[in-house]
A and B are shown apart, each in its own frame.
Chain A
Amino acid sequence: MVIELLQSLSEMQLVGELTVLSLLIGGIIMAGGIIIAKIAKLLFHKYYAPSLPKDTAQNISKLIYFGILIISFLGFTSSQGIDLSGIMVAGGIFAVVIGFATQSVVSNLISGLFLIVEKPAKHGDTIDLPDMGISGTLLDIGTFSSKVRRFDGTVTRIPNDKFFTSNIRSLTLSTVRRADALVGISYNSDIENAILVMKNEILQTMPFVLQIPEPEFRIEALGDSSVNIHVFVWYPKDDWSQAQPILLGTLKRALDNAAIEIPFPQRVIWSGKD
């Protein structure tokens, strides 16, 4: 009965030599290809991707997935007896037409390829796009767009051509980063002593602050009410949370413990008699 059904399907011609049976076989090949591509991608993510850098894993994953799809498509076309050389010529003409019609789509596609090749930033990098006012972790460089998870947890989709042409500031490309804070001490305080106590407190209580280069202290200004000291410390690139947010608190604690005054704005008024 099944053989009879297949025979009847093979006799049902749709267009030219294209029969329902050959279309069914082609559909099975394509469906099989998609399933195999998804399984291969899944297995790769499960067993190999964790041991690879994130961006390499993503690129290999896409290569595997689309590679299997293309092979399936070629299998599909050959099963239908389609001559690809004719399509190539027609495709060339169509590509020009479609290219003009979908400039931004093609631009995003090409920019995506350039981003993958040039690698101005990798998956997982913390980046800042000052032109767009976006900072966060780069999640994915896709075919047409890239995704950045901002520090508030929301995800922003950026078209690849905008991402490619904007300034990209990488916050994780360097081995170390620098944090800074500005503190003011009273004019009565000994500057050298204040610097010494702040430096000791930083080095003793902030284990992620680098000993070399050592913390730097610059007398920034002789302000209206205080001598302003700018403090710079270096830390490993991934440990921002162990440096910048706690630096100012550490400096205040050091100055408080040493009874060094952090003055508030004040004005000395002299009366006419004086």
Chain B
Amino acid sequence: MKTMSDASEITFSNYGIYDLGDNLELLLPNTLIKFQRISDNAFSYFRENSEGQIIEKIIPVKSNDVKIELVPILPLNHPAKRTNYAFLKLDKEIHLGENSAASIFIQCPIEIGIFLIYGDSHEPLDWVTCNPLHSRFSLYGSPDTGTLCKYAEVSLATDYNDSISYVNGVMHIVIENTLSSAQTISKVIFPITENNLYYNDSKSILDGIKIIMKKRAAVNIAEVKPTLVDTEWTPAPAWDKSVESVHHMEMTLE
């Protein structure tokens, strides 16, 4: 299995749609995926992930017209699906003066989903992460009433092309400070399930978010809303369509 350090020597499989044929092998950093036809109506699926775990499945298919789509998905599944919220800790704090705004790009972690395509329908088959060490949990708030979030320390990106293949997607964040005092932003917590992903070759981007820091009565709050990205990149199907949508959130400023 090839690792990230071997990336210069080998070509990893791009995101996109693949015909199953009789055999199909997809190679990702630290991850190997194999499909093999075992009969007219069935395939075997083999996947070895970055932690050495092997998963094997038998996939009965209704017709020969079955395809596979390899796409970036939201980073909510590893090590287990527990939350819809992301906690992104910025490696460098952002200082925002009174009544000012900032527009930044950040590296947001992603996972990779494998879908079966029957005609127009996408059926989730499996997911992998190429960087499991960066997939952790954190708590926002107190232990009894707080929100469990997926946690990642993220760096600023220059633009949408700054995506790290298979590991990070780029997200645009607009921050508006309408308060009469300067604010320092060191982390962003938001329901990430409203953010769609898009891919191009091995790069990915996510819908952005807009954060408005404002005063409500006597309390300073940050209102977070998703914003659609205007791109020609291919939209990735949602991994879990059954998740409850949270359209925006508000949090008290510390």
Contact = CB atoms under 8 A, between A and B. Distances in A.
Interface of A: 173-178, 203-204, 207-213, 234-236, 238-239, 242
Closest 5 CB pairs of A and B: A212-B138, A207-B79, A174-B144, A211-B151, A211-B138
A207 B136 contact: yes
Contacts of B132: 207
Nearest to B83: A236
A178 B146 CA distance: 14
A211 B136 contact: yes
B143 A236 contact: no
Nearest to B51: A207
B99 to A, nearest CB: 30
Contacts of B140: 212
B143 A239 contact: no
Contacts of A207: 78-79, 132, 135-137
Interface of B is mostly: mixed
A236 B139 CA distance: 9
B82 A238 contact: yes
7 contacts: A175-B144, A175-B148, A211-B137, A212-B139, A234-B143, A236-B82, A238-B82
Interface in B69-88: 78-80, 82, 87
A50 to B, nearest CB: 12
Which interface residue of B136, B140, B144, B145 has the most chain A CB atoms within 10 A?
B136
Contacts of B137: 207-211, 235-236
B143 A176 contact: yes
Contacts of B146: 175-176
Contacts of A174: 143-144
Interface string B136-161: 11111101111110010000000000
A238 B78 CA distance: 15
Given A210-B138, A212-B139, A213-B139, A204 B133 contact: yes
Interface size grouping (class) on chain B: 20 to 34
Contacts of A203: 136
A175 B78 contact: no
B80 to A, nearest CB: 7
A235 B143 CA distance: 10
Contact of B143 (A175, A204, A238): A175
A173 B144 contact: yes
A212 to B, nearest CB: 4
A212 B187 CA distance: 12
Which interface residue of A176, A177, A178, A204 has the most chain B CB atoms within 10 A?
A176
A238 B83 CA distance: 12
Given A212-B87, A212-B138, 15 more contacts: A175-B143, A175-B145, A175-B146, A175-B148, A176-B143, A207-B78, A208-B80, A210-B137, A210-B151, A211-B137, A211-B151, A212-B151, A213-B139, A236-B82, A239-B82
B215 to A, nearest CB: 27
Contacts of A178: 143
Nearest to B78: A207
Interface in B113-143: 132-133, 135-141, 143
Nearest to B152: A211
A210 B151 CA distance: 8
B139 A176 contact: yes
Contacts of B138: 210-212
Contacts of A212: 87, 89, 138-140, 151
Contacts of B145: 175
B79 A234 contact: no
Contacts of B144: 173-175
Nearest to A203: B136
B80 A176 contact: no
